[in-house]
Each structure stands twice: as structure tokens, then as C-alpha cells.
Amino acid sequence: MNASTPIHLSELELDALTELVNLGISQAAGDLAMMVRQEVVLSVPRVALVGRDEAIHVLGGAERKDLVAVHQVFEGDIIGRALLIFPEAKSLELVRAVVGGDLSFEDIIELEQEALSETGNVILNGCLGTIANELERSLKISLPEVLHGQSADLFELDPPPESGDTVMLIYIHFAVRERDIDGHIAMLLDMPSLAVLKDLLTAYIRRVAGDVQT
């Protein structure tokens, strides 16, 4: 847990969040597998709540890495953005993994935007949808948009999130058609939403584990 984050989650709340992400990513992997009709081998995702600066740094801010992201906005009891982020170089790997076949570089480029869009959409929806479901909330999720830039750019999107400084950073790693894809999902929530999330987690824990000391 990052001391600089304004939101404070207890150990159990963090555990709960981790479980939710686990469920969400597993669902996403399953959906992806169905979409590409190939096995998707998933590694355990890692979840952390970090400050925005740290998020920028983790995503290669110092090396000024070029990134590609699929961006969706969600609205409901919680409002925020979700970004599925890959290094630029990896994005084509993902496209190749998803599209299959031996395509030329030109073909891949032509398909890249759409393929990333759709794939990102499946992953983010699988993840967000499951989490929302478990928290017994409905979210309105926007259609995907592909963005290119460095990590600093991705966290300075307009209109700015009022989230202050908290980012939920999820590291995911999966393999499709023997290609290793690893990237991040970053969720930026605004301030009121973070408080709502905490409440939702409490309710979830109670539902799942009964009345417990949190």
C-alpha cells in the first residue's frame, strides 16, 4: 500500500479488491479465448494502488517509452477511466496473437487499430463488467478508443480526472498462440468514486465472508 495515496484500504479490503481483479481478468481471458478461438494462458494479475507519478514511472515514464492504450470510460456509481496499456512494440505482438496467421508488417499495421480496439474492449469489458457484477452495480461503459503516447500523456487526459492522485494499477500477463503479452490495466477514479469503492468493498466482504472485523 502506498503511503501517499489518499485512500486507505485495509488489508482485507485490498484482498477483496485483488480477488475481484482476479475474477475480472480471468473472465476477460476467457472471453478473449472465445473471441480468438485459441487458448489464453493467464498468469496471476498483480494489483496495487499507487500515486499518479508512480504509475507514470512504472509505465516507462523515465525512459519515455512509447505506449499504446485502449481507453474506455465508465459511469455509474463509480466514475472513471480504464486504460489497457502496452508498450508500442508489444501491441503488434498482441495483434498478431489475436489475428493469427502469418501477416506482413503492412497487413498488421492496417489491422492494428481495429484489432487493438476490439481486443481491448473484450478485456476491459470482461474485467470491469465482472467487478461491477460482483459489487452488484451496473456501469455504463463507453466504446474503446486507441491512444498513442508516453505514460505521462495517458495520465493527463482531458478532461482531467478529478481523482487527485490515486491509480489502481493492475499488471497482467497472458499468452496467446505462444506469444507472451504483458501489459497493464490502469483505472483512474475520481475522488467521490474512491470513497464509493471503499463502501462497495465493505459490502462485498460482508456478503462473501459474512460479518467480519475489517
- Whether cis (ω within 30° of 0) applies to the bond prior to 144 is no
Q: Does 101 bind other proteins (CB under 8 A)?
A: no
* Binding to other proteins in span 144-163, by CB under 8 A: 145-147, 157-159
**The total number of residues written for the chain in this structure:** 214
CB 54 within 8 A of CB 186: no
Q: Of the candidates 2, 23, 171, 198, which one interacts with other proteins according to CB under 8 A?
A: 23
Q: Give the integer Cα–Cα distance in Å for 37 and 42.
A: 15
3-state SS of 61-108 is: CCCCCCEEEEEEEEECCCCEEEEEEEEHHHHHHHHHHHHCCCCCHHHH
Q: Of the candidates 2, 10, 18, 150, which one interacts with other proteins according to CB under 8 A?
A: 18
Q: Which positions from 165 to 184 touch other proteins by CB under 8 A, shown as an x/- string?
A: --------------------
Q: Does 208 bind other proteins (CB under 8 A)?
A: yes
Report, in Å, the least distance between residue 165 CB and other proteins: 18
Shortest CA distance to 161 belongs to which of 86, 70, 75? 75
CB 194 within 8 A of CB 166: yes
Q: Of the candidates 2, 10, 12, 173, which one interacts with other proteins according to CB under 8 A?
A: 12
Q: Of the candidates 3, 37, 104, 143, which one interacts with other proteins according to CB under 8 A?
A: 143
Q: Does 113 bind other proteins (CB under 8 A)?
A: yes
Report, in Å, the least distance between residue 170 CB and other proteins: 14
Task: Give phi and psi for 140, each to the nearest 5.
Answer: -95, 115
| Interacting residues with other proteins (CB under 8 A) | 11-12, 15-16, 18-19, 22-23, 25-27, 29-30, 33, 39-42, 44, 71-73, 75, 79, 81, 106, 109-110, 112-114, 117, 134, 142-143, 145-147, 157-159, 205, 208-210, 212
